[in-house]
Amino acid sequence: MAKRRSVDPIYSMCVQPAFIIGTNNEDGTANFAPITWVSVTHEEGDGYLLVISMSGTKMTKKNVLRTGIFSANLVSTDMLPLMDYFGSKHAKDGAKNDMSYKVSRGEIVDVPVLDESRFVYECEVERTVETGDSTTFFCRIRNIQMDEKLVCEDIFDVDLTVLDPVIYSDKYHSIGKMLGNIGDFI
């Protein structure tokens, strides 16, 4: 049995997948920023909705509110310097071009996409919910671009060890081994 202690409910522990969000600025240029408050939910039919939350008045949020579209580029551990850079600079202070990175366009949704990312969602906002200064977007995933090295037997067979994602919980982490499937431990 774990020996636990009660603490103030202000500690931050939320295991978050790291994504860099690509949006279109008003002048047509691209902007990228890390957002890790990301999850999914289900709707009628087969589709998933990507759920993503943005606080404050950052450009990424303004762009999503204005255009209703964005790319979510999964961050692998080799992309950490780029994510750290995008997260430390605000678009309002100038273009984020101190580091070099290659950008393409989405294949279905007209959004900027990072060439380095191994897994990209192209998204369109369907619903928004406001809580305090945060906006949560429920988004239709219109297209997924995945690394050709990823071989999936079915839609639930996405090998995270190939994607090597950064996991964020106020510090950056990586994942370990693949442990098995649902039912393997009964």
Are 75 and 18 contacting, i.e. CB atoms less than 8 angstroms apart?
yes
Site string for ligand FMN, 16-35 (x = CB under 6 A): ---------------x-xxx
Q: Tell me if 125 contacts ligand FMN by CB under 6 A.
A: no
Burial of 55 (0-12, 13-18, 19+ CB in 10 A): middle
**How many beta carbons lie within 10 A of that of residue 134, not counting itself?**
13
Hey, which residues between 35 and 94 contact ligand FMN (CB under 6 A)?
Answer: 35-37, 53-55, 58-60, 87, 89-91
**Least distance (Å) between residue 53 CB and ligand FMN:** 6
When the beta carbons of 30 and 109 are compared against ligand FMN, the nearer one is 30
End-to-end Cα distance, the chain = 20
Which lies closer to ligand FMN via its Cβ, residue 19 or residue 119?
19
Nearer to ligand FMN, 31 or 145 (CB): 31
49 vs 91, beta carbon nearer ligand FMN: 91
If one asks whether residue 101 binds ligand FMN (CB under 6 A), the answer comes out as no
Q: How far is the CB of 91 from ligand FMN (least distance, A)?
A: 3
Encoded tokens for 132: 């305090």
Q: Cβ contacts of residue 143 below 8 Å, gap of 6+?
A: 106, 107, 108, 109, 121, 122
- Which spans of this chain sit near ligand FMN (rule: CB under 6 A)? 31, 33-37, 53-55, 58-60, 87, 89-91, 168
